Amino acid sequence: MGACASKDKELKLSEPAKQHPRSRPTVKSSSGKVLGGGGGESTENSKEAAARAAELRYQNHQDLKKNSQAKLKAMEKISKREKGLE
């Protein structure tokens, strides 16, 4: 009567995916400068900015971790005190 749904799915999965170009051609202005993300000094600055941002995220994460651990320790002491274990 009808086709099995699993067979249809298998056929769809085996179809090749569309390929997108990974790089784009370099576009130059009339003066010869590279337009867009051509590279050079701007990419170095962006790499430095990304590194600084990553360092800040790491430091913030470490601070949050220390605060959380201190809070847990304080809660543990309070809990023990309330139970009369301390």
Q: Is the pLDDT of residue 37 over 70?
A: no
What would the pLDDT profile of 6-33 be if each residue is shown by its tens digit? 555 555 555 556 666 666 677 777 787 7
CB 44 within 8 A of CB 52: no
**pLDDT average, residue stretch 41-49:** 83
Put simply, whether the predicted model's pTM sits higher than 0.75 gets the answer no
Whole-number pLDDT of residue 31:
80
